Amino acid sequence: MQAAAVAVRSPLRLAIRAATEPLGPQRHQAGGKPVVCGCCGNEQFTVGSYGFPHVQSLVCARCHHIELFTVLPSVAE
């Protein structure tokens, strides 16, 4: 699975990600509640690219588990 995700990354996509996500892992919220990793319980995520146009993903900063959404959750304050 991870090999497929790496294959769809292009230098342009990586540059766009670096420009739009300069702060590193952040807390997010969806539906008014914090996003929590379903694998390890961590609350720090980076925005990922899943390779499908209507799928947004958050990647757990601790265990690299991917949480999928149709709308990217907002950054928690």
> Closer to Zn ion at the Cβ: 1 or 7?
1
How near is the Cβ of 10 to Zn ion at its closest, in Å? 26
How near is the Cβ of 12 to Zn ion at its closest, in Å? 28
> Closer to Zn ion at the Cβ: 16 or 34?
34
How near is the Cβ of 41 to Zn ion at its closest, in Å? 7
Helices and strands (DSSP H and E) totals, the chain: 2, 6
Contact 56, 71 (CB under 8 A): yes
User: What Cα–Cα distance (Å) separates residue 77 from each residue in 3, 13, 31, 44?
Assistant: 33, 27, 14, 13
What residue ranges bind Zn ion (CB under 5 A)?
37, 39-40, 42, 60, 62-63, 65
